Amino acid sequence: MAERLCDSLWRASAIAGPDLIPLQGSHNAQVVIVGGGFTGLSTALHLGKLGISVIVVEAHEIGFGGSGRNVGLANAGVWLEPDQLDSAIGPEAGRTLYNTLAGAPNLVYALIEEYDIQCEAVRNGTLHAGVGKQGLAQLQRRCEQMQTRGAPVQLLESAEAQSRIGSSKFNSALFDPRAGTIQPLSYAHGLAHAAIKEGAKLFDYSPVTSVQPTQDGWIVQTSHGEVRAETVVLATNAYSEHGVKEQARKFVPIFYSQLASKPLTSSQLEQILPNREGVWDTCTVMSSFRLDQQGRLVFGGMGGEGGVLANWASQRVSELFPFLSNVEWDYSWTGQIAYSEDHLPHCQQLQRGLFSVAGYSGRGIGPGTMMGKELAEWFAGKRESLSVPTTILRNIPLRELKRLFYEVGAQTYHLGQKTHALD
């Protein structure tokens, strides 16, 4: 399956990342991190702050994985409804994880401020837009469960939802003022600069080909070098490849594609998302939309085949926003989401000193950043445990079939869908 990043709006508009070189020769560190996305970079930044020596090795360029491809919705919490979270891992662990990730946008925006990361950060909240009776019921449920846990969320009725979004096609929206939008690749580049500032060493174009135990730790081999360390963190999520590709077997990779329009006119911008929230909807085959700093509409949907999605997206946009009936797309790109079986991120200790953090299931900006901070504090002995589940994940049976099921489902939906899901 082809995966395009070269036509990505985020790549075209990102701030420059640090100038890096591939790893060569032998190095030592206390911790080596495989993967230069939000998880790896945040872990490195926080380890550096705590005075722990750390090396990050990235197979491609910083932000090559989900971190440089996502929608940029910096949300609080996980995908699951809070009650589902409690059922999945128990009420006490559920409450801990919920409370930790409720604060994840605070951490993201605090880092952006502390390190002056120019990543188009807007913190005007997100809108989870309701479609149909089931969508409304889902939002009512979520709202009640979140409010019970003290979240400042608000369920907007149809008139307000419609004027906030600029479309008559939604019957409600759950507004979360804790959240916001970012330019995700710029955020990743900014985290990389910040990690270096805190003393971390980063190397790009350094695919890890093997991770082997030694007498007192680990040796991580890349194509042209090696790092010896007591601790290894595999922060490769859906993009696990080369020497760590086995990790990918624990998740179903689901493709999500996005398109970015030409900058909209000022009169169009007055009608769509006047408060600049980011939006995703309640449809089973979900879609999302937001604006970037240049006033481009960034529209996305499940599935990886650009052609079908582009046709569907143009049609869907003109249904949602009739004043955008001739939308022209400048960019399109895809990314892989790592869906774990329980839809939760996990930190697995695979062997003594060897950890893997993954399974964000489409919500990794806040959680990935938060996990990095927690891991660093844990390694430094400053906390006793992590908020995410630490159970070891099993390889997903019939993974390729499951991936195909989602992909074919999304494609069929996009090919066949007219307006029925919006009525």
Nearest to 71 by CA among 328, 363, 284, 375: 363
Stretch that binds ligand FAD, among 111-119, 172-180, 307-315, 334-342 (CB under 6 A): 334-342
Q: What's the token pair of residue 328?
A: 């022209």
Comparing CB distances to ligand FAD, the nearer of 391 and 419 is: 391
Is 47 one of the binding residues for ligand FAD (CB under 6 A)? no
Least distance to ligand FAD from the beta carbon of 338, Å?
A: 7
Is 233 one of the binding residues for ligand FAD (CB under 6 A)? no
41 touches 193 (CB < 8 A)? no
**Percentages helix, strand, coil for the chain, rounded to the nearest 5?**
40, 25, 35
Is 368 one of the binding residues for ligand FAD (CB under 6 A)? yes
Comparing CB distances to ligand FAD, the nearer of 17 and 35 is: 35
Work out the angle at residue 323's Cα, subtended by the Cα atoms of residues 322 and 326, and round it to the nearest 5 degrees. 85
Is 244 one of the binding residues for ligand FAD (CB under 6 A)? yes
Least distance to ligand FAD from the beta carbon of 157, Å?
A: 25
| Position among 31, 55, 64, 156 found at the interface with ligand FAD (CB under 6 A) | 64
Least distance to ligand FAD from the beta carbon of 125, Å?
A: 14
Is 243 one of the binding residues for ligand FAD (CB under 6 A)? yes
Which helix (H) or strand (E) segment holds residue 338: the answer is strand 329-339
301 touches 286 (CB < 8 A)? yes
Stretch that binds ligand FAD, among 43-51, 90-98, 239-247, 375-383 (CB under 6 A): 239-247
Comparing CB distances to ligand FAD, the nearer of 100 and 336 is: 336
Which residues, 246 to 265, sit near ligand FAD by CB under 6 A?
A: 256
Q: How far from 84 is each of 25, 78, 252, 402, CA to CA, in Å? A: 48, 10, 20, 22
**Radius of gyration, CA atoms only, the chain:** 21
HSE-up of residue 288 (Cα within 13 Å, Cβ side): 23
Q: What's the token pair of residue 230?
A: 């007591």
Is 241 one of the binding residues for ligand FAD (CB under 6 A)? yes
Comparing CB distances to ligand FAD, the nearer of 140 and 204 is: 204
Q: What is the dihedral of CA 27, 62, 74, 49, to 10 degrees?
A: 30
Binding site for ligand FAD (CB under 6 A): 34-40, 57-60, 64-67, 69-73, 75, 207-208, 235-244, 256, 335-337, 360, 362-366, 368
